[in-house]
Amino acid sequence: MWAGGLLRASFPAVPSGCRTQSALAQLRGVLEGELEGIRGAGTWKSERVITSRQGPHIHVDGVSGGILNFCANNYLGLSSHPEVIQAGLQALEEFGAGLSSVRFICGTQSIHKSLEAKIARFHQREDAILYPSCFDANAGLFEALLTPEDAVLSDELNHASIIDGIRLCKAHKYRYRHLDMADLEAKLREAQKHRLRLVATDGAFSMDGDIAPLQEICHLASIYGALVFVDECHATGFLGPTGRGTDELLGVMDQVTIINSTLGKALGGASGGYTTGPGPLVSLLRQRARPYLFSNSLPPAVVGCASKALDLLMESNTIIQSMAAKTHRFRSKMEAAGFTISGANHPICPVMLGDARLASCMADDMLKRGIFVIGFSYPVVPKGKARIRVQISAVHSEEDIDRCVQAFVEVGRLHGALP
């Protein structure tokens, strides 16, 4: 009675419904203020609605005619490949729409185990574990692996999922300057007092199209007794002679300990991610990785599509060579026109503009010319580093690329980005 009386005396005599409405009104005010700030800064992100399959040629709601798509992660053009689609349909028919369960209860099918084994063979690792996304793979790895006795050293421009995954773990955290090997060495020297030391980096950085210096990273890791983790989402399937990724490209496949990557970009374009590496690590993740333990299994159709995409990739590297040539064509023509393109020889080709409004307005005018590209600005990229990120696919034709360059030249002159 006393506690109840004290509780009643602590609040004004206002009906609970009124208090709820007042709190909701306050929330709306806070949210509208935040949203207006985003609009005012010119960093509002609109979503264009695609009404067709993903591919180099798409249809967009509200825009007449076909549109050339230059901003998808569909690097190998496999998201609408007929054999990939057929494999998904077959898996859907044979194994159903979904598992209604997590893996360790009743959510593991033979196709999940088969794809995990195929991924491990592809990367020449001992084992692999599937997740609903690579964001989940990054969220699951660090917390399960690292303890307060350990240290993780992260490139300052690593993907948000790596940053968030590292935040979840209790290891000591060091951040080194982007691609700065002298700073990494200084941090490794400082971290010698810890049990395990894990260097974490993107293989290819998604906003800038630059590639981690894995040879130097692995060399430093060897000197200072560290392990190396690489996120290969923007490398798996197309970097390296056979598409194994940046570790193959730079000749250090035997020196990178752990790889996380995605099935949602080059390998079919649907969803799903994975970790591949030492067998005991994968076994530990099956026991402790929270996104794995508490998320539904990947749908069978997604597994079937990704498995077929890997088959196609391992059968031939012709498609990889085609994309490299088209990437060079776009970069060289854009630079000749006067644009600054970040990164080096990667199908991510950021057209650097600096100003967020300029990037947004140019992207809108590109769409009017039949080219689908998106402006990127803060907080996706640092302030003052706004850009339009163009992504080349193996299924773009040379005519597609030339048309995109010509549109950029026209729009660039219209907005003063070119003389």
> How far apart (Å, rounded) are the C-alpha atoms in residues 48 and 395?
22
Which of 195, 158, 151 lies closest to 174 in space, CA to CA?
151
Tokens of 189: 């020297």
DSSP string of 280-336?
HHHHHHHHH-HHHHSSBPPPHHHHHHHHHHHHHHHH--HHHHHHHHHHHHHHHHHHH
Helix (H, G, I), strand (E, B) or coil at 28: helix
Tokens found for residue 111? 């196709």
Which positions are annotated as active-site residues?
A: 206, 234, 265
Coil/strand/helix, residue 151: strand
The answer to whether the CB of 259 falls within 8 A of the CB of 64 is no
Round to whole Å and give the CA distance between 332 and 349: 11
| Chain centroid to CA 95 | 28
Angle between helices 318-337 and 398-414 (to 10 degrees): 20
142 secondary structure, DSSP code: H
Strands of 52-186 (E only): list them: 57-58, 67-69, 127-131, 151-155, 172-176
